Amino acid sequence: MRFRRYSEVLYALEGAARHQWGPLAKIQLQKVLFLTEMMGPFQQVIISHLDYRVWHRGPYSRDLQNAVDHLIACGLVKITNYSIGAASDTVPTRTNQVEYARYQLTDLGVKLIKELIDYEGNRDAQELVLLVCDLVDIYGLSNVVDLVYQEPTFAELKRAGRKGHSIVGPGVENQTLRLLAFIDDAAKHKMRFERFDWTSLALAFFETLWANFSRRQQEATWTPN
Amino acid sequence: MDTQLDRVIGVLRQSEFRIAADRHVPSLWIKKLTSKAKALCRRTARSPVPLLFVVDFEEQSAGSDVLCDPTPLLAIQSTLSSDQKLVAIIDREGRLLRTTIQTWDEAANWEMPWAAQVSEDCQAFVLAVYGRSLSLFDSGRLRDQIDDVNRPRYPHVSVSDRHVPAREFPAAVRRHFDDKVQYERGLAFWGDRARREFVGGPERVFQKDLWFYLQEYLLDQRRVDMEYSPAGLSDRTDIYIETVNDEQYLLEIKWLGKTVTGGSYDEEQAKRGARQTIEYLERIPSITRAALVLYDGRKDDMEIAWDSSHQHPKLDLSLRLYIVSKTASEIGRRSS
């Protein structure tokens, strides 16, 4: 089994444990790793290429779900809650049933993380996933879906009604990288922040996503006097 | 200005980025600390005891995270007398390094000057938690204030008709006056409205509210600072604005009239303010423009008799803002 390919899942679950989020829901895991994948290339961190597609509940990767299932089969991750029900935003029918699951690292998974770092020199990927977990923790895990909806590549495809379209792949420009470069330039040249490091840039990127979300919220709730 | 640039700059001019840039530390550290302090505010909102945290970014502690659980601090607080105040020195993760006890006997409105003083004495970043409010001080300067942590606070991203480029700051000052000062909305400066007497120290009230307003509504500002000493000046300017295009603006704030505490300033104070601002302009040639903002609480609405010694090509003396104290119904009654 190619653990390196799946290591990001373990790191995300490690981040969840560090922040005491409890078992991580399927949708939260998908969103945390989606943001990591979009930001990774800016730091030349190669995250396993997972085919994220525009889905009705945000970006979704079957590859990632397969990776989680493999890790469960290997005893590195365990399911703590599992249920099947209608999606919260739909009228329940036989065809729109959704699987709800929550995942947690096993002791073996925790042990493997240490070996992955030592053996494969995978520290950069781990640091990136843990940084994204740190940022998600600041804005609240319950808001991760709202943040992901503001990610510019996904937002553009969603606006264009491209359901099922691949978000990461040939023919689609990673808009997050453009935005990160734009923020970096604005910070260093316009704001004159001489020591604007990567973690500050990542924070500014999240803050921009949050600001866009807040603005849309304000616009949605605005009523004329 | 480009909307995307304005929005990104709106994000970057938030306090965590500016404090981090001044201190040369990652913004994430400041954000994490303020985020924890906000959570603490929500938990201790009913506590009558203010908590002051001085952050030492150099040292690291193995102690407990007192921002997450302030129980050890509250236990020490309960043993102190009324004039003794507790200061907790924490590391960048919020873990306790040590505590000190200070004596501070100014009972009225003491928490803000005390926090500013501690921040200035230590030249440190200070988080002041009191009730539901959180204040951030850095080297003695108030850098941000959240009056109620439970109220949602949006980053400065909304572009409305109130937003103007920094070069049009006089229009923003007038708008602030028309929207807020004239109707005493969101700030309180009348000590005795009927006798047209301000509260004691009204300049601070006007200055702080205008500072918040300009931070929010000047589109291309890099920094809007209160009590800032630009290079070449030892004095602290009332409001200093720097834009992303390297323009610098200065605002000197003065008030005219009387206070309930016996203070009184007339036309001479306005003239002193003009000379003071000209002195600033001569000492710092890089200042693009300066303005003297006069909040006029005198009984009569009279123009100031400026002479040539008060004139300077870069000085704007048009911002004398006369505050009307009578309501429309009172004016109606008098005239009939």
How distant is the Cα of A126 from the closest Cα of chain B, in angstroms? 18
Backbone dihedral angles phi then psi of residue B106, each to the nearest 5 degrees: -85, 100
How distant is the Cα of B222 from the closest Cα of chain A, in angstroms? 6
Residues in contact with B32: Cβ distance below 8 Å, sequence separation at least 6, in sequence order: A134, A138, B93, B94
Is the predicted pLDDT of residue B103 greater than 90, yes or no?
A: no
Residue B8: list chain A partners with CB under 8 A. 182-183, 186, 204, 208
Is the predicted pLDDT of residue A86 greater than 90, yes or no?
A: no
Candidates B285, B280, B288, B282; CA nearest to B245 is B288
Place of tokens 């048009």: B318
Q: A191 or A4: whose pLDDT is higher?
A: A191
Query: Measured between alpha carbons, how far is B266 from B294 in angstroms, rounded to an integer?
Result: 11
What is the pLDDT confidence band of residue A169, given thresholds at 50, 70 and 90?
Answer: confident
Residue A202: list chain B partners with CB under 8 A. 28
Residue range A40-64: mean pLDDT, rounded = 85
**Global pTM?**
0.86
Chain B nearest-CA residue for A180: B8
Residue range A119-147: mean pLDDT, rounded = 89
Strand partners, B136: B127, B144
Residue-wise pLDDT tens digits, A199-225: 999 999 999 999 989 888 877 776 554
Give the pLDDT confidence score for residue A87 in this predicted structure.
Answer: 61
Give the pLDDT confidence score for residue A1 in this predicted structure.
Answer: 45
Give the pLDDT confidence score for residue B152 in this predicted structure.
Answer: 75
Give the pLDDT confidence score for residue A119 in this predicted structure.
Answer: 65
Mean of per-residue pLDDT scores for chain A: 87
Is the predicted pLDDT of residue B323 greater than 90, yes or no?
A: yes
Is the predicted pLDDT of residue B178 greater than 90, yes or no?
A: yes
Is the predicted pLDDT of residue A88 greater than 70, yes or no?
A: no
Give the pLDDT confidence score for residue A164 in this predicted structure.
Answer: 84
Give the pLDDT confidence score for residue A90 in this predicted structure.
Answer: 53
Nearest to A204 among B17, B222, B244 (CB): B17
- Identify the H or E element spanning B238: strand B237-243
Residue B31: list chain A partners with CB under 8 A. 138, 203
Residue B7: list chain A partners with CB under 8 A. 208, 211-212
Chain B nearest-CA residue for A195: B24
Q: Where are chain B's structural domains?
A: 4-146, 166-335
Give the pLDDT confidence score for residue B108 in this predicted structure.
Answer: 45
Residue range A14-25: mean pLDDT, rounded = 94
Residue range A17-28: mean pLDDT, rounded = 94
Is the predicted pLDDT of residue B154 greater than 80, yes or no?
A: no
Residue-wise pLDDT tens digits, B254-311: 999 999 999 999 999 999 999 999 999 999 999 999 999 999 999 999 999 999 999 9
Residue range B166-175: mean pLDDT, rounded = 95
Give the pLDDT confidence score for residue A47 in this predicted structure.
Answer: 73
Nearest to B158 among A193, A202, A218 (CB): A218
Contacts 24+ apart (CB under 8 A), A165-172: A165/A53, A165/A54, A166/A51, A166/A52, A166/A53, A167/A34, A167/A52, A167/A53, A167/A54, A167/A59, A168/A37, A168/A38, A168/A49, A168/A50, A168/A51, A168/A52, A169/A51
Give the pLDDT confidence score for residue A94 in this predicted structure.
Answer: 58
Flag whether residue B32 sits within 8 Å of chain A, measured between CB atoms.
yes
Is the predicted pLDDT of residue B83 greater than 70, yes or no?
A: yes
Q: B279 or A46: whose pLDDT is higher?
A: B279
Mean of per-residue pLDDT scores for chain B: 89
Q: Write the CA distances from B152 to A69, A138, B21, B23, B186, integer angstroms.
A: 39, 15, 25, 27, 17
Residue B4: list chain A partners with CB under 8 A. 182
Is the predicted pLDDT of residue A2 greater than 60, yes or no?
A: no
A residues 176..195 contacting B (CB < 8 A): 182-183, 186-187, 190-195
Give the pLDDT confidence score for residue B235 in this predicted structure.
Answer: 83
Nearest to B31 among A203, A208, A212 (CB): A203
Q: For the domain made up of B4-146, give the CATH fold.
A: YojJ-like (1 (3.40.1700)
Query: Measured between alpha carbons, how far is B312 from B178 in angstroms, rounded to an integer?
Result: 27
Is the predicted pLDDT of residue B313 greater than 50, yes or no?
A: yes
Residue-wise pLDDT tens digits, B5-50: 888 988 998 999 999 999 999 999 999 999 999 999 998 888 777 8
Nearest to A138 among B9, B31, B222 (CB): B31
